[in-house]
Amino acid sequence: MNVPGLDPREVRRDAGLRPGRGLSRRLLLGVGGVTLLSGCASNGGGSAGAGPVRATTPAGATVPTGSEPSSRPTTGGAPFPGHGTAGSGSSTGSAGSVSSSPVGSSSGSSNGGAAGSPTTAPAANRNDAPPAPGHPQFYVHEGDKAIALTIDDGPSSKYTPQVLALLAQYKIAATFCMIGQNAAQHASLVAEVSAAGHLVANHTWDHADLSRMSEARVTAEIERANDAITKGGARQPVLFRAPGGNWSPTVFSVCAKMGLRPLDWSVDPRDWSRPGTDHIVQTVMGHTHTGSIILEHDGGGDRSQTVAALRRFIPQLLEAGYHFVQP
Ligand SMILES: [Zn+2]
């Protein structure tokens, strides 16, 4: 759960850096770049520790909650269970997890920043090399002003159609990191997203924190989600995003075996915490640079702020000269 006043990101980070545990986020970041730790990625395991919490919100918003650990404070609104921040640090990165935030260089500074505010990563350097094997991708490398938009935790019967309409309006191709059980429940939306030209990435079956799972369990989480996504009509995913950005050597290994590229993000306005539409827009506009991978959510709860923010920042980014590519 969240501990009031405690920046989830810190929790997550500490956990990830715990000595003796797998790869450290800092190492990863060194390679990747900077980002924010939060978002889907950062949510900690939640209150209950690490287990994924599968909450199915009545309104169609199903949200398994699991891992986005450190970041999903339960504060912003009714969160989903599980998305809370792990105050105890248990969830998040505990064991051997490798967190992903690109915090590149800025691990210290950026994250350490003000609590609550999204941190961003330093500007993406268009010369950054693609991630080395065993590391997630924090940036796209498609040239000047190329950025990517990723939409996580859906599909949602209520919000995914709204997001699709906006993307169509601006002719933008995005990447939807879907949770397998939501894809199974809303198969027609999987087909709709795919048919519209968007990429569908695997985001586990139930948004579990994979960082401490065995290879067999990680494989099962990913395979089950792949099955739901392909049955829904999308092609076999080639991208995988770990809930909460909680990576581990095991997760990287399974991704390699399954032909999946690990995908992280570099700009996280923590929209899932419902910080206010203005805050989401300002964070995105203030932290997006060439190469940025922006994280937003269409699933997991009330995403009306996210939709409102997309409606504002997409045209602003286009006006600023950016164009959207897929990782
Ligand atoms: Zn997620």
Which tens digits make up the pLDDT trace of 35-54?
344 444 434 333 322 222 22
CATH number at residue 56: 3.20.20.370
Which of left, alpha, beta for 203 (phi over 0: left; psi -120 to 50: alpha)?
alpha
Residue 281, classed as helix, strand or coil, is: helix
- CB neighbourhood size of 288 (10 A): 25
How many domains does the chain divide into?
1
Query: Does residue 135 lie in a domain region?
Result: yes
Helix (H, G, I), strand (E, B) or coil at 56: strand
pLDDT value at residue 56: 31
**Ligand 1 centre from 243 Cα, in Å?**
5
Write phi, then psi, for 194 (nearest 5 degrees): -65, -45
Q: Is residue 150 part of a domain?
A: yes
pLDDT surpasses 90 at 98: no
Distance 122 CA to ligand 1 centre (A): 23
Cα 103 from Cα 121, distance rounded (Å): 6
Q: In this predicted structure, what is the pLDDT of residue 99?
A: 52
Q: Is residue 247 part of a domain?
A: yes
Q: Rounded to whole angstroms, how far apart are CA atoms 22 and 239?
A: 22
Distance 231 CA to ligand 1 centre (A): 21
What is the tens place of the pLDDT at every residue in 248-283?
999 999 999 999 999 999 999 999 999 999 999 999
Which amino acid belongs to residue 147? I
Q: How confident is the model at residue 171 (pLDDT cuts 50, 70, 90)?
A: very high
Query: Does the pTM of the predicted model rise above 0.95?
Result: no
Contacts of 62 (CB under 8 A, 6+ apart): 55, 56, 156, 179, 181, 182, 185, 299
Residues 6+ positions from 187 with CB-CB distance below 8 Å: 228, 231, 232, 233
Task: Indicate whether 3 belongs to any domain.
Answer: no
Mind listing the pLDDT tens digit for each residue in 109-127?
333 333 333 344 444 444 4
All residues at 6 or more sequence positions from 27 whose CB lies less than 8 Å from its CB, including other chains: none
263 CA to centre of ligand 1 in angstroms: 12
**Marked catalytic residue, from 128, 152, 153, 206:** 152
Percentage of the chain beyond pLDDT 90 is: 59
Query: Which range of residues forms the domain containing residue 106?
Result: 8-324
User: Residue 2 domain-assigned?
Assistant: no
In a domain, 298, yes or no: yes
Asked, for residue 17, whether it belongs to a domain, the answer is yes
Q: Is the pLDDT of residue 93 over 60?
A: no
**According to the model, what pLDDT value does residue 46 have?**
32
Mapped onto helix, strand or coil, the DSSP state of residue 293 is strand
Query: pLDDT band at 28, cuts 50/70/90?
Result: very low
297 carries an active-site annotation? yes
Instruction: Look at residue 134 in the predicted model and tell me its pLDDT.
Output: 81
Residues 119 and 38 sit within 8 Å (Cβ to Cβ): yes
Question: How many A from CA of 189 to the centre of ligand 1?
Answer: 17
Q: Is 216 helix (H, G, I), strand (E, B) or coil?
A: helix
Ligand 1 centroid – CA 204 distance (Å): 9
CA 298 to ligand 1 centroid distance, Å: 10
E strands within 230-320?
239-240, 246-247, 261-262, 293-297
Kindly give the distance from the C-alpha atom of residue 105 to the centroid of ligand 1, in angstroms, as a whole number: 24
Confidence class for position 67, pLDDT limits 50, 70, 90 = very low
51 vs 200, which has greater pLDDT? Answer: 200
Confidence band for 128, pLDDT divided at 50, 70 and 90? low
Which of 206, 297, 298, 302 is flagged as catalytic? 297
DSSP H stretches of helix in 91-247: 112, 160-169, 180-185, 187-195, 215-231
